[in-house]
Structure 1
Amino acid sequence: MERVTQELVAPPLLPEHTQIAVGPPKVVKIRMIVEEKEMEVAPGVTAHVMAFNGSIPGPIVVVHQYDYVELTLVNPITNTMVHNIDFHAATGALGGGALTKVAPGQEVVLRFQAIKKGVFIYHCVPGGVMIPLHVALGLSGAIMVLPRDGLRDDQGNPVTYDKAYYIGEQGFYFPQDVDGNYIKYSSVIDSMPEVLQQMRKLTPSHTVFNGSVGSLTGANALTAKVGESVLFIHSQGNEDSRPHLIGGHGDFVWEGGSFNDAPVTDRETWFIPGGSAVATLYKFKQPGVNVYLNHNLIQAIQLGAAAHVFVEGEWNNDLMEQVKPPSAIEWSGYCKYLHFLQGDRYEQVYTRCSSFLTD
């Protein structure tokens, strides 16, 4: 079989690939290095985490159905823990987890055939309580197994994407001291007892896209143009998520990440069960700043699970138009209405109204 090397890249980007397979199945060689490292997860908050190829989430792998994935997994001598990898796209041996355990200073090669098409997560699964710890500290990613003849819409017609982005949602559980400050540790091992204790509360301190608060907003925002179809691949290793694109929709959503099933259409919000991924295709119709977020708005706004998409193009007034700009309200009629109110409610509102008119 033809053997090719796929150069993995940091999310939200995808490696170079074709949407339709060229020729018969191939052996696709990839290389991943597990890093135990310190990184900033929010402004002023640094923590010890673990990452595939240095990024949270790990890089997305893209192959076609029936291709073989040949992974070299490296655990550098500088690490302190045993690591491995479980591909939800693989069949047998704990998704490869039973065949990939490597101690610091070791590497291992695993090959599996991608027989199921769709988007799937992968994650570290070293055993026991280390499984949730490693995932909660960043060791997860995704693989997209495309149909050999490309994606299809709900009617079975071919669809393509102009751009694709990978968003990995991550819940972190970092302990705080009695004053509310995040505790500083010297290593992953040093932080482990208190992180495990914090995890038992099932309440993340941060829920972020691509490793940190603000990683996909402002200067780091995703980009698109009006008329472009963008494929969003979104994964979550532990918690459930409810992605939503403010001002847009999921034109086609492959629920559960399955490309074997017809996509559902025109969704306002879609669902990702913890431990899975989803693919969503949307053609942008209006320019401006679009917000892509977890519609558990507490996680999005207060914990960090939000991204921006800057879209270029011409505004379509037929889709939306401001008919009348903001203007002053005629308050005299409103104050007359207060006479119909009774008791304390009347006093509260009347006082506020009078104060407004005086100001």
Structure 2
Amino acid sequence: MKYRAFTCAAALLIAGCAQAPGGSTDWKVEPDPDIVNFPLENAESVDQELVAPPFLPAHEQVASGPPRIVNVRLEIIERETEIAPGVFVWQMAFNNSVPGPVPVVFQWDWVNLTLVNGTTDTVRFQEPVQNTLLHNIDFHASTGALGGGELTKVAPGQEVGLLWRAEKAGFFVYHCAPGGTMVPYHVVTGGNGAILVLPREGLRDGYGNPVRYDRAFYFGEQDYYVPMNDDGTSLRFDNYASQMGPTLQVMRGLVPTHIAFNGQYGALTGDIRLEAEVGETILMLHSQANNPSYPHLIGGHGDWVWPYGKFNNRPDEGLESWDVVAGGTAAAVYTFKQDGVYAYLNHNLIKAF
């Protein structure tokens, strides 16, 4: 079966006005020692209510105070989903979503995570739930302990806590990584998402000028390796664990059977397309936890693109397409100048149509 992916069409209509080059030639901002050394015991604790992609939780774009402790809750659910007509996959879904939701914090904040391996009595998002396998989480944004993976292994019906500090600014992948072949199996069945760590001073363009966005959208690209019947339908399984062996056999060929944005075909097109107003600036966030990707906005550009989604790197200006490395991200802004429909896709076009 050939590669398949549906494009994301976004009616993002914008009349932009260009900002004159300016700002400091010394682009790097040195960290404030008072912020870096701010004591944990003095930090305010706040709860963040996560939302399903492609949207992000309400957040400030510039830090208004000292580092905080941001409390987030991720609930892991094993669920069967029809990702394409007649094609069913048991997914590992953070908060009942593929990809998982995007926590938003500032650099030098602390992330206080509660991770739940769901059963019907412990999750809020779907019933009945009866997970079958061990799960955990590896934050690419964190330091040490395998990104937290070594500290967060959790059995069905249990929960675990993890406190870590966001020392680097950028858009970072997180994913399940319980060990051995379960690592790629969990990732390619949806067990991944991303976290946004904003610079405390906010985003800046290549001249050092502030960049502000009106909306932010998250495109999580997912490759699937589905055991298929000869008639183009998928094999069906009783649960997430029983699907694993046949899926691993397909994975060893390294060729995805299906590729989709945000979990399933057509998730961001048609009646559920993304919309914005003419004159708005949109932050486009993209992750791919397993394969490279090459985002492109048909009819638009990346006005500013942060290499590999990392905000302490000077952004590139006016790109037509940009890179996402395997297990990595991209971040770009574009101010839309005309009304109409714009298609966001992976410009490896064999995978896009």
Q: TM-score, normalised by structure 1?
A: 0.83
Among 221, 237, 240, the residue aligned to 1:188:
240
The residue type paired with residue 266 of structure 2 is G
237, 249, 256: which one pairs with 1:197? 249
Cα deviation, residue 152, structure 1: 0.3
In the other structure, the counterpart of 1:89 is 141
1:300 aligns with 2:300: no
Deviation at 1:179, TM superposition (A): 3.6
The residue number in structure 2 matching 1:174 is 226
Larger Rg: 1
What is the identity, as a one-letter code, of the residue corresponding to 1:79?
A: N
The 3-state SS of whatever aligns with 1:215 is: coil
5 Å matches for 1:264-275?
A: 264-275=316-327
Corresponding position: 1:4 with 2:56: no
Q: What is the CA distance between 1:257 and its match in structure 2?
A: 1.1
CA distance in 2: counterparts of 1:45 and 1:195, whole angstroms = 13
Match 1:141 to one of 177, 193, 198: 193
> Quick one: distance in 2 between partners of 1:46 and 1:198?
15
Which of 58, 63, 74 aligns to 1:16? It is: 58
Structure 2: unaligned runs, 5 residues or longer: 1-42, 120-129
Deviations 1:141-198 (A, max 9, x none): 0001000010000001111001100110000110112343311111111211110000
Equivalent residue number for residue 42 of structure 1: 84
Please name the residue that 1:104 is paired with.
156
Give the superposition deviation at 1:46. 2.1
Letter in 1 for 2:198: L
**2:222 and 2:262 in contact (8 A); partners too:** yes
Cα distance in 1 between the residues matched to 2:89 and 2:44: 42
Structure 1 Cα separation of the partners of residues 92 and 168 of structure 2: 28
SS across alignment from 1:89: coil
State the match for 2:97 in structure 1. Answer: 55
Distance in 2, matches of 1:109 and 1:191, equals 29
Matched, 1:225 2:273: no
Deviations 1:303-359 (A, max 9, x none): xxxxxxxxxxxxxxxxxxxxxxxxxxxxxxxxxxxxxxxxxxxxxxxxxxxxxxxxx
337, 343, 351: which one pairs with 1:285? 337
- Deviation readout 1:200-249 (Å, 9 max, x if unpaired): 11111111000000000001101112211000010000011011000100
Higher helix share: 1
Please provide the CA RMSD for this pair: 0.8
Letter aligned with residue 62 of structure 2:
I
| Residues 86 and 233 in structure 2, CA contact (< 8 A), matched pair in contact too | no
Identity of aligned residues (%): 57
3-state SS, counterpart of residue 331 of structure 2 = strand
Partner SS, residue 154 of structure 2: coil
* Cα distance in 1 between the residues matched to 2:88 and 2:302: 35
Letter in 2 for 1:76: G
Aligned to 1:26: 68
Local SS of the residue matching 1:84: coil
Deviation digits for residues 92-128 of structure 1 (CA, Å, limit 9, x no counterpart): 0000000000001110010000000011000000000
| Greater RCO, 1 or 2 (C-alpha within 8 Å, sep 6+) | 2
Residue 114 of structure 2 aligns to a residue in which SS? strand
* Range 181-190 or range 148-157, more displaced: 181-190
**Runs of 4+ more than 4 Å apart:** none
Aligned counterpart, 2:178: 126
Task: Give the aligned partner of residue 307 of structure 1.
Answer: none
Count of equivalent residues: 301
Tell me which amino acid in the other structure corresponds to 2:107. Q
Corresponding position of 1:252: 304
CA spacing shift, 1:53–1:14, aligned 2, 3 Å: same
Shift of 1:44: 2.8
Task: State whether residues 291 and 326 of structure 2, in contact with CA within 8 Å, keep that contact through their aligned partners in structure 1.
Answer: yes
